[in-house]
Amino acid sequence: MFKSLDISQRKLYRLLRDDKTVWVLYLDIVKFQEVEFRYGYKICRQILEEIENEISYTIKQQRNLYLFSHFESRGGDDFVVYFVPGKKIHWNITEAIEKWVIPLEERFNHRIRKLVSEKINLRSGIAQCINEAGRSPDYLLYAAVKEAFLLNKSEPDPNFFARRQEITYLIEEPEKYLKAAFQPIIEARSGEVFGFEALARIPSSTCFNNIADLFPFAEKIGQLYPIETLCRRQAITSYPSISHNKERLFLNINPLVLIDPEFASGHTRKLLSEQGLTPSDVVLEITERSAIEDFSTFRDALDHYRKQGYLIALDDVGAGYSSLQSVAELHPDFLKVDRSLIKGVNADPIKWALLETFVTFSKRIGCRIIAEGVETAEEMRTVVQLGVDYIQGFFIARPSFERKCINPAVKELLDVKHRLKSAEQNSILSMVEPLPLFNTHTLVNAVETYFRDHPHQWLVGITEDSRLVGVMQRDRLFSALGTRYGVTLYSERTIPILMDTNPLIVEDTTPLEVVSSLAMQRSGSQLYDGIIIANQRKPIGLVSVANLIKTMAERQIQIARGANPLTGLPGNLLIDQEIRQHLERRSTFGLIYVDLNKFKYYNDLFGFQQGDVAIKMLSEVLLNASNNSAQETFVGHIGGDDFIIISSSLELEKLAVNILFQFEQSCKQLTGTESLSVALAGLIINTAEQNWTPLLVSERAAQIKKEVKAIGGNSYLVR
């Protein structure tokens, strides 16, 4: 048996070397375990003997069709048949199932009709083996058997051979068939381009209508590595013509490729160098098209690339294989939230809450959120509001082979000046203190000397490759050195032996409330430790808990004084104080009572979260209009959809017109606002002609509001 098998294999090798084609057919029985369960082992043993007999008989009967044919059992119900087609075969490989397998199945069932009372179905997969320069025959046959096996276990693909041929063309002439398109990723705070994701494209493809089908198919036929290599090469060589000012290149990497020794050999790094790029310019985007089974090995591979300077992004978060375990195990620098969570997030409370949770979660673990697949203005507005760091999607720009302009509407939605001003007032950056840095090779006695020379410095950071890996507290260092053998044990050792490897690190965009909450959740021994402020784990400075508590207390006092928690505008207490001050000055002034028409209907239809968005939008309109006014203007939020503006009586009508115009423009960016309109009730108060009181002002404004609401639509009245 073994001698015969060896002779047959040598015959196949010789034919391959002579450039003959070998067809490899993989056969098994559909649901064989169920058949065995129904009929028992002895009957199934006879079934397998009969299928071997039928295959052997069929090959002998048709031997004049082939230059050579042979079959072997792979154990159980698995069989492999090898054909070297001759000139007499009147069908090609795409017809093999119909012409060979189906008739074989019929004859086989005829053989076993006395053994079983049902039809036994065969499942097949067929591959083609052709000689390749530089590849040994045994490797080529092994690869063909594996390909046939995978096809046997998968759904039938009528385009299989056409797709396989197209991949062959891609590998042989990538410059002709393969191109790299680039889609920008922008910073949510500034609207500036942060980087580009490279996306493979086959412009003239007839078999891969969706590029996403290319990679699973390439993996099926054992060509994933060469295809990914070519896509990566095209992306890197094309990128210098696209990028400006050190914008990052996001490269999609399949986990299976990342742990391949050939990928780790340095070819990618060499290619980057040839294009004037470095690993620090690149983000490896882990596309989890297949599950990561060995996180330990994969994590070691990631550490290898991190040490070279690459950043890591985890793609498709919230979908597919991208589980929270992947985040916990891989410690990515970026989380790319999948389009499935972004689509309709503006109107879906669950998606809203999930994205908000991811944003908060990302701050805690020191990475950044990229919202993928933003396609509408409403989605854009919502992801910005929820605090994502970066945005990507058709609304920003579609993938292109050349650098294209960002959608102008993006800048308008971001309202950069207002956002930066807001960030300056509320950001943790306003409280940052300097953080001295030492690397992991620094000796303990050097850090001790620094602390003695700087008695007011109580914390230093420890870095490795510019990334923070720990901190050293002044008191803890001196406490360790003050033990009986402390100086002897530690002085000549490097600082990592004593450093705290788990300090609280937050991104520089983290809201104060989140920082405060995280700080207070720490254990008692760490409760008053400093908070490290970083940008992608690169330290910026530190914040003391004392300063944080002081700032939060000041903010709480502001809220207690009457600020509305939704819009941040002065509430009823401050509104009443403002009106009283104007009345006490005995001056003439103007007041506009602002109310949204049909807001309850809108709120019931789209939900309270979208209702809040509409109210915030109106508050921004009022603030912008007041900022553009030549006179000092006060804007307050009475509650719900009611606002009040106090300004000069001379500016009142002009202010109302400006508000209506801006409101109409802003509504174009908000879902369902065709049912919303704003009513402006203007009241000029002349204290010289009448004895006004706050109550009288309120009553008169309410009367005018009824009149203007009766008009309907966007309208105003001034009395």
- The rounded distance, in Å, linking the Cα atoms of 15 and 22 is 8
Is 50 exceeded by the pLDDT of residue 195? yes
Q: Amino acid identity, residue 587? A: S
Three state DSSP letters for 617-632:
HHHHHHHHHHHCCCCC
Model confidence at 418, pLDDT cuts 50, 70, 90, reads very low
CA nearest neighbour of 58 among 16, 27, 94 = 27
Model confidence at 67, pLDDT cuts 50, 70, 90, reads very high
Two tokens at 713? Answer: 């639509």
Residue pair 393/337 in contact by the 8 Å Cβ criterion = no
Question: What's the confidence (pLDDT) of residue 260?
Answer: 65
- The rounded distance, in Å, linking the Cα atoms of 150 and 143 is 11
Two tokens at 382? Answer: 């919502």
- The rounded distance, in Å, linking the Cα atoms of 461 and 507 is 15
Q: What is the mean pLDDT of residues 454-473?
A: 86
Helices 416-426 and 608-627, packing angle to 10 deg: 100
- The rounded distance, in Å, linking the Cα atoms of 220 and 154 is 9
Two tokens at 453? Answer: 């020379």
**Cα 261 to the center of its chain, rounded Å:** 27
Is 80 exceeded by the pLDDT of residue 688? no
Q: What is the mean pLDDT of residues 588-602?
A: 86
Helices 572-584 and 694-711, packing angle to 10 deg: 110
Q: What is the mean pLDDT of residues 573-593?
A: 81
Q: pTM value?
A: 0.50
CA nearest neighbour of 583 among 592, 571, 573, 575 = 575
Two tokens at 487? Answer: 């100086």
Q: Amino acid identity, residue 596? A: L
Half-sphere exposure of 688 (CA within 13 A, CB side): 3
Model confidence at 392, pLDDT cuts 50, 70, 90, reads very high
CA nearest neighbour of 290 among 235, 218, 234 = 218
Burial class (CB in 10 A: 0-12, 13-18, 19+), 596: buried
- Please list, in sequence order, all residues whose beta carbon lies within 8 angstroms of the beta carbon of residue 406, skipping any fewer than 6 positions away: 184, 186, 191, 193, 396, 397
Q: Bridge partners of 153?
A: none
Residue pair 436/552 in contact by the 8 Å Cβ criterion = no
Residue 154 per-residue DSSP state: S
Half-sphere exposure of 235 (CA within 13 A, CB side): 26
Residue pair 145/80 in contact by the 8 Å Cβ criterion = yes
Three state DSSP letters for 364-415:
HHCCEEEECCCCCHHHHHHHHHCCCCEECCCCCCCCECCCCCCCHHHHHHHC
The tens digit of pLDDT for each residue in 259-268 reads: 666 555 677 8
Give me the percent of the chain exceeding a pLDDT of 90: 19
- The rounded distance, in Å, linking the Cα atoms of 602 and 348 is 15
- Helices first, then strands: H and E counts in the chain: 29, 23
Question: What's the confidence (pLDDT) of residue 563?
Answer: 67
Q: How would you classify residue 497: left for phi > 0, otherwise alpha for psi between -120 and 50, otherwise beta?
A: alpha
Q: What is the mean pLDDT of residues 417-438?
A: 58
The tens digit of pLDDT for each residue in 527-556 reads: 778 888 887 667 877 888 888 888 777 766
Q: What is the mean pLDDT of residues 634-663?
A: 86
Alpha-carbon distance values, 200 to 174, 193, 251, 291, 689 (Å): 11, 20, 10, 22, 75
Question: What's the confidence (pLDDT) of residue 559?
Answer: 57
Question: What's the confidence (pLDDT) of residue 140?
Answer: 87
The tens digit of pLDDT for each residue in 342-379 reads: 988 876 667 877 888 888 888 777 789 999 999 988 78
Is 60 exceeded by the pLDDT of residue 96? yes
Question: What's the confidence (pLDDT) of residue 711?
Answer: 85
Per-chain mean pLDDT for the chain: 83
Q: Amino acid identity, residue 230? A: L
Question: What's the confidence (pLDDT) of residue 23?
Answer: 92
Two tokens at 68? Answer: 């050579």
- The rounded distance, in Å, linking the Cα atoms of 181 and 238 is 9
- The rounded distance, in Å, linking the Cα atoms of 452 and 438 is 15
- The rounded distance, in Å, linking the Cα atoms of 145 and 129 is 9
Question: What's the confidence (pLDDT) of residue 165?
Answer: 80
Residue pair 230/174 in contact by the 8 Å Cβ criterion = yes
Is 80 exceeded by the pLDDT of residue 158? no
Is 60 exceeded by the pLDDT of residue 113? yes
Cα dihedral 467→470→472→473 (10° resolution): 120
Model confidence at 97, pLDDT cuts 50, 70, 90, reads confident
Give me the percent of the chain exceeding a pLDDT of 70: 91
Q: Amino acid identity, residue 266? A: G
Is 70 exceeded by the pLDDT of residue 519? yes
Question: What's the confidence (pLDDT) of residue 157?
Answer: 66
Question: What's the confidence (pLDDT) of residue 561?
Answer: 58
How many CB atoms sit inside 10 A of residue 281's CB? 20
Domains of the chain: 7-155 (3.30.70.270), 164-405 (3.20.20.450), 428-552 (3.10.580.10), 563-718 (3.30.70.270)
Question: What's the confidence (pLDDT) of residue 63?
Answer: 87
The tens digit of pLDDT for each residue in 142-156 reads: 888 888 888 887 766
Is 50 exceeded by the pLDDT of residue 420? no
- The rounded distance, in Å, linking the Cα atoms of 274 and 558 is 57
Is 60 exceeded by the pLDDT of residue 290? no
Contacts 24+ apart (CB under 8 A), 657-662: 657/716, 658/625, 658/628, 658/629, 659/592, 659/594, 659/621, 659/622, 659/625, 659/716, 660/714, 660/715, 660/716, 662/621, 662/624, 662/625
Question: What's the confidence (pLDDT) of residue 349?
Answer: 62
Question: What's the confidence (pLDDT) of residue 622?
Answer: 87
Question: What's the confidence (pLDDT) of residue 558?
Answer: 61
How many CB atoms sit inside 10 A of residue 325's CB? 11
CB environment 244-267: b (16+ within 10 A), e (fewer):
eeebbbbbbbbbbbbbbeebeeee
CA nearest neighbour of 315 among 256, 269, 372 = 372
Is 50 exceeded by the pLDDT of residue 694? yes
Residue 121 per-residue DSSP state: P
Which range, of 393-397, 443-447, 602-606, averages the lowest pLDDT? 602-606
The three-class DSSP label of residue 93 is helix
Considering only CA atoms, give the Rg of the chain. Answer: 35
- The rounded distance, in Å, linking the Cα atoms of 561 and 451 is 43
Question: What's the confidence (pLDDT) of residue 400?
Answer: 93
CA nearest neighbour of 331 among 362, 371, 289 = 362
Q: How would you classify residue 8: left for phi > 0, otherwise alpha for psi between -120 and 50, otherwise beta?
A: alpha
